[in-house]
Amino acid sequence: MNPYIEILRPGNALMGAISIILVAIIDRTISIPIILAMIAVFFETAAGNVINDYFDYKIDLINKPERPIPSGRISLKNGKNYAYFLFFAGTVCGFLISYLTSNWIPFIIVLIADAILYLYAYKLKTTPLIGNLAVGFMTGFGFVFGGFTINNPDIITTSIFLGFFAFVMTTAREIVKDIEDVEGDKKDGARTLPIMIGKKIPAMLAAILIVVDCALCPLLFIYHIFGILYLAIIAIAVILFIYSAVLILKSQDEATAHKSSKFLKIGMLIAFLSFALGSII
Protein backbone atom coordinates (compact mmCIF):
# COMPACT_ATOMS: atom_id res chain seq x y z
CA MET A 1 0.00 0.00 0.00
CA ASN A 2 1.19 3.53 -0.76
CA PRO A 3 2.60 4.92 2.51
CA TYR A 4 0.70 8.21 2.13
CA ILE A 5 -2.56 6.24 2.03
CA GLU A 6 -1.51 3.79 4.73
CA ILE A 7 -0.67 6.54 7.23
CA LEU A 8 -4.20 7.93 6.89
CA ARG A 9 -5.63 4.66 8.27
CA PRO A 10 -8.41 5.04 5.68
CA GLY A 11 -10.68 2.46 7.32
CA ASN A 12 -10.53 4.38 10.58
CA ALA A 13 -11.11 7.69 8.77
CA LEU A 14 -14.11 6.29 6.90
CA MET A 15 -15.55 5.02 10.19
CA GLY A 16 -15.37 8.58 11.45
CA ALA A 17 -17.79 9.64 8.71
CA ILE A 18 -20.43 7.21 10.00
CA SER A 19 -21.76 9.83 12.41
CA ILE A 20 -22.57 12.15 9.50
CA ILE A 21 -24.16 9.32 7.51
CA LEU A 22 -26.34 8.36 10.50
CA VAL A 23 -27.53 11.93 11.05
CA ALA A 24 -28.31 12.23 7.32
CA ILE A 25 -30.31 8.97 7.45
CA ILE A 26 -32.24 10.18 10.50
CA ASP A 27 -33.15 13.41 8.68
CA ARG A 28 -33.68 11.47 5.42
CA THR A 29 -31.70 14.05 3.53
CA ILE A 30 -28.70 14.33 1.25
CA SER A 31 -27.13 17.59 0.13
CA ILE A 32 -23.83 19.15 -0.86
CA PRO A 33 -23.20 20.37 2.74
CA ILE A 34 -23.77 16.81 4.02
CA ILE A 35 -21.31 15.38 1.46
CA LEU A 36 -18.81 18.07 2.42
CA ALA A 37 -19.32 17.17 6.10
CA MET A 38 -18.47 13.52 5.36
CA ILE A 39 -15.33 14.62 3.51
CA ALA A 40 -14.41 17.03 6.33
CA VAL A 41 -14.68 14.28 8.95
CA PHE A 42 -12.56 11.98 6.78
CA PHE A 43 -9.84 14.64 6.40
CA GLU A 44 -9.92 15.62 10.09
CA THR A 45 -9.74 12.00 11.27
CA ALA A 46 -6.92 11.29 8.82
CA ALA A 47 -5.08 14.44 9.94
CA GLY A 48 -5.37 13.30 13.55
CA ASN A 49 -3.90 9.90 12.63
CA VAL A 50 -0.96 11.43 10.74
CA ILE A 51 -0.07 14.03 13.38
CA ASN A 52 -0.34 11.30 16.00
CA ASP A 53 2.23 9.21 14.09
CA TYR A 54 4.43 12.29 13.79
CA PHE A 55 4.55 12.88 17.55
CA ASP A 56 4.84 9.12 18.27
CA TYR A 57 7.86 8.77 15.96
CA LYS A 58 10.38 7.81 18.66
CA ILE A 59 8.04 5.34 20.38
CA ASP A 60 7.06 3.77 17.06
CA LEU A 61 10.74 3.27 16.17
CA ILE A 62 10.76 0.66 18.93
CA ASN A 63 7.18 -0.63 19.07
CA LYS A 64 5.85 -0.22 15.51
CA PRO A 65 8.87 0.21 13.18
CA GLU A 66 6.82 -0.93 10.17
CA ARG A 67 4.69 2.23 10.16
CA PRO A 68 5.34 4.72 7.31
CA ILE A 69 7.33 7.31 9.31
CA PRO A 70 9.60 5.09 11.45
CA SER A 71 10.20 2.77 8.48
CA GLY A 72 11.53 5.77 6.52
CA ARG A 73 8.92 5.53 3.76
CA ILE A 74 7.70 9.00 4.81
CA SER A 75 10.16 11.49 6.29
CA LEU A 76 9.37 13.20 9.58
CA LYS A 77 9.14 16.57 7.83
CA ASN A 78 6.83 15.26 5.10
CA GLY A 79 4.65 13.57 7.71
CA LYS A 80 4.17 16.85 9.57
CA ASN A 81 3.44 18.78 6.38
CA TYR A 82 1.01 16.07 5.24
CA ALA A 83 -0.89 16.38 8.52
CA TYR A 84 -1.06 20.16 8.14
CA PHE A 85 -2.40 19.77 4.59
CA LEU A 86 -5.12 17.40 5.79
CA PHE A 87 -6.10 19.77 8.60
CA PHE A 88 -6.27 22.58 6.04
CA ALA A 89 -8.42 20.48 3.67
CA GLY A 90 -10.85 19.60 6.47
CA THR A 91 -11.04 23.25 7.53
CA VAL A 92 -11.77 24.37 3.96
CA CYS A 93 -14.66 21.87 3.84
CA GLY A 94 -15.98 23.30 7.10
CA PHE A 95 -15.77 26.82 5.68
CA LEU A 96 -17.64 25.79 2.52
CA ILE A 97 -20.40 24.16 4.57
CA SER A 98 -20.88 27.34 6.58
CA TYR A 99 -20.74 29.52 3.47
CA LEU A 100 -23.37 27.41 1.67
CA THR A 101 -25.71 27.18 4.69
CA SER A 102 -25.10 30.72 6.06
CA ASN A 103 -24.47 29.02 9.40
CA TRP A 104 -20.97 29.43 10.82
CA ILE A 105 -21.27 26.87 13.60
CA PRO A 106 -19.97 23.95 11.42
CA PHE A 107 -16.85 25.98 10.59
CA ILE A 108 -16.30 26.74 14.29
CA ILE A 109 -16.73 23.03 15.10
CA VAL A 110 -14.02 22.12 12.57
CA LEU A 111 -11.64 24.72 14.05
CA ILE A 112 -12.24 23.28 17.54
CA ALA A 113 -11.63 19.78 16.15
CA ASP A 114 -8.31 20.97 14.63
CA ALA A 115 -7.16 22.22 18.02
CA ILE A 116 -8.27 19.15 20.00
CA LEU A 117 -6.78 16.63 17.54
CA TYR A 118 -3.45 18.44 17.52
CA LEU A 119 -3.35 18.88 21.30
CA TYR A 120 -4.34 15.24 21.83
CA ALA A 121 -1.42 14.01 19.72
CA TYR A 122 1.00 16.52 21.25
CA LYS A 123 0.10 16.35 24.94
CA LEU A 124 -3.37 15.17 25.99
CA LYS A 125 -2.84 11.53 25.02
CA THR A 126 -0.39 11.05 27.88
CA THR A 127 -2.54 12.91 30.43
CA PRO A 128 -4.55 10.64 32.76
CA LEU A 129 -8.28 10.59 31.90
CA ILE A 130 -8.06 13.82 29.84
CA GLY A 131 -6.85 11.81 26.85
CA ASN A 132 -9.78 9.40 27.23
CA LEU A 133 -12.23 12.30 27.44
CA ALA A 134 -10.69 13.92 24.35
CA VAL A 135 -11.21 10.78 22.24
CA GLY A 136 -14.78 10.42 23.52
CA PHE A 137 -15.48 14.08 22.88
CA MET A 138 -14.25 13.92 19.28
CA THR A 139 -16.38 10.83 18.61
CA GLY A 140 -19.50 12.56 19.88
CA PHE A 141 -18.57 15.80 18.16
CA GLY A 142 -19.13 14.16 14.76
CA PHE A 143 -22.86 13.77 15.44
CA VAL A 144 -23.15 17.38 16.57
CA PHE A 145 -21.27 18.50 13.46
CA GLY A 146 -23.76 16.60 11.30
CA GLY A 147 -26.71 18.10 13.15
CA PHE A 148 -25.53 21.68 12.70
CA THR A 149 -24.67 21.00 9.06
CA ILE A 150 -28.31 20.05 8.41
CA ASN A 151 -29.32 22.97 10.68
CA ASN A 152 -32.75 21.59 11.57
CA PRO A 153 -33.63 22.32 15.25
CA ASP A 154 -35.08 18.83 15.83
CA ILE A 155 -32.07 17.15 14.20
CA ILE A 156 -29.66 19.35 16.18
CA THR A 157 -31.32 18.21 19.44
CA THR A 158 -31.18 14.56 18.35
CA SER A 159 -27.55 14.88 17.22
CA ILE A 160 -26.54 16.36 20.59
CA PHE A 161 -28.17 13.42 22.39
CA LEU A 162 -26.48 10.91 20.10
CA GLY A 163 -23.21 12.78 20.48
CA PHE A 164 -23.48 12.55 24.27
CA PHE A 165 -24.19 8.81 24.01
CA ALA A 166 -21.13 8.31 21.79
CA PHE A 167 -18.98 10.51 24.06
CA VAL A 168 -19.83 8.57 27.23
CA MET A 169 -19.53 5.08 25.73
CA THR A 170 -16.32 5.88 23.83
CA THR A 171 -14.77 7.34 26.98
CA ALA A 172 -15.69 4.15 28.86
CA ARG A 173 -14.12 2.01 26.14
CA GLU A 174 -10.94 4.13 26.10
CA ILE A 175 -10.58 3.58 29.86
CA VAL A 176 -11.04 -0.17 29.38
CA LYS A 177 -8.41 -0.13 26.60
CA ASP A 178 -6.00 1.63 28.97
CA ILE A 179 -6.59 -1.17 31.50
CA GLU A 180 -5.82 -3.68 28.75
CA ASP A 181 -2.65 -1.85 27.66
CA VAL A 182 -1.09 -1.19 31.08
CA GLU A 183 2.04 -3.28 30.54
CA GLY A 184 2.81 -1.84 27.11
CA ASP A 185 2.02 1.71 28.24
CA LYS A 186 4.40 1.35 31.20
CA LYS A 187 7.23 0.51 28.81
CA ASP A 188 6.34 3.58 26.72
CA GLY A 189 6.39 5.80 29.82
CA ALA A 190 2.69 6.68 29.45
CA ARG A 191 0.73 8.11 32.38
CA THR A 192 -2.71 6.56 31.93
CA LEU A 193 -5.27 6.39 34.73
CA PRO A 194 -4.75 2.65 35.47
CA ILE A 195 -0.99 3.20 35.70
CA MET A 196 -1.39 6.19 38.04
CA ILE A 197 -4.04 4.84 40.45
CA GLY A 198 -4.36 1.13 39.69
CA LYS A 199 -6.93 -0.77 37.64
CA LYS A 200 -9.85 -1.14 40.05
CA ILE A 201 -11.08 2.47 40.22
CA PRO A 202 -10.83 3.01 36.43
CA ALA A 203 -12.79 -0.23 35.96
CA MET A 204 -15.50 1.07 38.28
CA LEU A 205 -15.55 4.42 36.45
CA ALA A 206 -15.90 2.69 33.07
CA ALA A 207 -18.73 0.51 34.41
CA ILE A 208 -20.57 3.57 35.79
CA LEU A 209 -20.30 5.35 32.43
CA ILE A 210 -21.61 2.26 30.64
CA VAL A 211 -24.60 1.94 32.98
CA VAL A 212 -25.43 5.66 32.63
CA ASP A 213 -25.47 5.35 28.84
CA CYS A 214 -27.64 2.23 28.99
CA ALA A 215 -30.12 4.03 31.26
CA LEU A 216 -30.41 6.87 28.73
CA CYS A 217 -31.10 4.61 25.73
CA PRO A 218 -34.91 4.24 26.23
CA LEU A 219 -35.36 8.03 26.21
CA LEU A 220 -34.93 8.13 22.43
CA PHE A 221 -38.00 5.91 22.12
CA ILE A 222 -39.99 7.49 24.94
CA TYR A 223 -39.64 10.94 23.36
CA HIS A 224 -40.60 9.56 19.91
CA ILE A 225 -37.21 10.29 18.33
CA PHE A 226 -36.93 6.68 17.15
CA GLY A 227 -39.51 3.96 16.54
CA ILE A 228 -40.08 0.50 17.95
CA LEU A 229 -37.36 -1.10 15.80
CA TYR A 230 -34.80 1.08 17.60
CA LEU A 231 -35.96 -0.31 20.94
CA ALA A 232 -35.63 -3.90 19.75
CA ILE A 233 -32.13 -3.45 18.35
CA ILE A 234 -30.75 -1.22 21.12
CA ALA A 235 -31.79 -3.90 23.64
CA ILE A 236 -29.15 -6.20 22.09
CA ALA A 237 -26.53 -3.46 22.41
CA VAL A 238 -27.50 -2.81 26.04
CA ILE A 239 -27.05 -6.51 26.88
CA LEU A 240 -23.54 -6.39 25.40
CA PHE A 241 -22.75 -3.14 27.24
CA ILE A 242 -23.86 -4.52 30.62
CA TYR A 243 -21.95 -7.75 29.99
CA SER A 244 -18.84 -5.70 29.23
CA ALA A 245 -19.27 -3.75 32.47
CA VAL A 246 -19.65 -6.96 34.48
CA LEU A 247 -16.53 -8.43 32.85
CA ILE A 248 -14.29 -5.47 33.64
CA LEU A 249 -15.59 -5.22 37.21
CA LYS A 250 -14.91 -8.92 37.85
CA SER A 251 -11.35 -8.87 36.51
CA GLN A 252 -8.94 -6.30 35.16
CA ASP A 253 -6.42 -8.67 33.60
CA GLU A 254 -5.35 -8.00 30.01
CA ALA A 255 -7.41 -10.79 28.42
CA THR A 256 -10.63 -9.79 30.20
CA ALA A 257 -10.13 -6.10 29.41
CA HIS A 258 -9.60 -7.00 25.74
CA LYS A 259 -12.82 -9.02 25.78
CA SER A 260 -14.74 -6.18 27.44
CA SER A 261 -13.40 -3.65 24.93
CA LYS A 262 -14.36 -5.91 22.01
CA PHE A 263 -17.95 -6.30 23.24
CA LEU A 264 -18.21 -2.54 23.78
CA LYS A 265 -17.13 -1.95 20.18
CA ILE A 266 -19.65 -4.47 18.84
CA GLY A 267 -22.35 -2.95 21.05
CA MET A 268 -21.63 0.53 19.71
CA LEU A 269 -21.89 -0.67 16.11
CA ILE A 270 -25.24 -2.29 16.93
CA ALA A 271 -26.35 0.93 18.65
CA PHE A 272 -25.46 2.95 15.54
CA LEU A 273 -27.47 0.46 13.46
CA SER A 274 -30.43 0.97 15.80
CA PHE A 275 -30.20 4.75 15.27
CA ALA A 276 -30.37 4.32 11.49
CA LEU A 277 -33.16 1.72 11.39
CA GLY A 278 -35.07 3.28 14.27
CA SER A 279 -35.47 6.47 12.28
CA ILE A 280 -37.24 4.51 9.54
CA ILE A 281 -39.57 2.29 11.60
Q: List pLDDT tens digits, range 142-162.
A: 999 999 999 889 899 999 999
- Cβ(173)–Cβ(271) below 8 Å: no
Q: List pLDDT tens digits, range 61-105.
A: 776 788 899 888 999 999 999 999 999 999 999 999 999 999 999
The residues of the chain that CATH labels 1.20.120 are 152-281
Of 61-75, 220-234, 252-266, the range with the highest mean pLDDT is: 252-266
The residues of the chain that CATH labels 1.10.357.140 are 1-151
pLDDT surpassing 90 at residue 33: yes
pLDDT surpassing 80 at residue 188: no
pLDDT tier at 117 (50, 70, 90 boundaries)?
very high
- What does the pLDDT read at residue 145? 95
pLDDT tier at 10 (50, 70, 90 boundaries)?
confident
From CA 126, how far away is CA 109, in angstroms rounded?
Answer: 24
Q: Which backbone phi and psi does 253 adopt, to 5 degrees?
A: -75, 165
Question: Greater confidence, 57 or 175?
Answer: 175
Single out the residue of 169, 171, 164, 96 nearest to residue 131, CA to CA: 171
- Show Cβ contacts of residue 261 under 8 Å, excluding neighbours closer than 6 positions: 173, 176, 177, 180, 244
When the candidates are 1.20.120, 1.10.8, 3.30.70, 1.10.260, the CATH number that belongs to 152-281 is 1.20.120
- Give percent helix, percent strand, percent coil of the chain, each to the nearest 5: 80, 0, 20
- Cβ(252)–Cβ(200) below 8 Å: yes
- Show Cβ contacts of residue 35 under 8 Å, excluding neighbours closer than 6 positions: none
- What does the pLDDT read at residue 64? 77
Mean pLDDT of 262-267: 94
Q: Is the pTM of this model over 0.85?
A: yes
pLDDT tier at 202 (50, 70, 90 boundaries)?
very high
Tally Cβ neighbours within 10 Å of residue 280: 12
- Cβ(45)–Cβ(174) below 8 Å: no
Q: Which backbone phi and psi does 161 adopt, to 5 degrees?
A: -65, -45
SS3 87: helix
pLDDT surpassing 80 at residue 56: yes
**Long-range pairs of 126-130 with CB within 8 A, sequence gap ≥ 24:** 126/190, 126/191, 127/191, 128/191, 128/192, 128/193, 128/195, 128/196, 128/197, 129/175, 129/193
- Check whether domain 1-151 has CATH 1.10.3720.10, yes or no: no
pLDDT surpassing 90 at residue 12: no
- What does the pLDDT read at residue 61? 79
- What does the pLDDT read at residue 65? 84
Burial class (CB in 10 A: 0-12, 13-18, 19+), 189: exposed
Provide the residue type at 35 as one letter: I
- Cβ(144)–Cβ(150) below 8 Å: no
pLDDT surpassing 90 at residue 38: yes
Mean pLDDT of the chain: 91
Mean pLDDT of 225-232: 90
